[in-house]
Amino acid sequence: MPYDKDDVIQDLQLRVNALEYMVRMLVSGQSSEVKENIDELTNIEIERWKNKSPEIIQIMEQALTLVKR
């Protein structure tokens, strides 16, 4: 499926997937303080999206599991 920059959900999914990759890379070599910051900021975004898109929340919650590995 080609990328459609006007499709908000597709754009968000792409961004979340990119962030998931970056989190994996950052967490692999960072201190516990960085991991806590990632966790805190992701939870803030979850609150922001809570009433807008359960799918995005699910992706973000899954991404949070990467921080805790």
Q: How confident is the model at residue 1 (pLDDT cuts 50, 70, 90)?
A: low
Query: Could you give the residue ranges of the DSSP H alpha helices within 1-69?
Result: 8-28, 32-49, 54-67
Whether the per-residue pLDDT at 7 is higher than 80: the answer is: yes
**CA-closest candidate to residue 67, choices 41, 48, 45:** 41
The SS3 assignment for 51 reads coil
For residue 44, the model assigns a pLDDT of: 92
Do residues 26 and 38 make contact, with C-beta atoms less than 8 angstroms apart? yes
Do residues 42 and 27 make contact, with C-beta atoms less than 8 angstroms apart? no
Q: Is 36 exposed, middle or buried (0-12, 13-18, 19+ CB in 10 A)?
A: exposed
Whether the per-residue pLDDT at 69 is higher than 60: the answer is: no
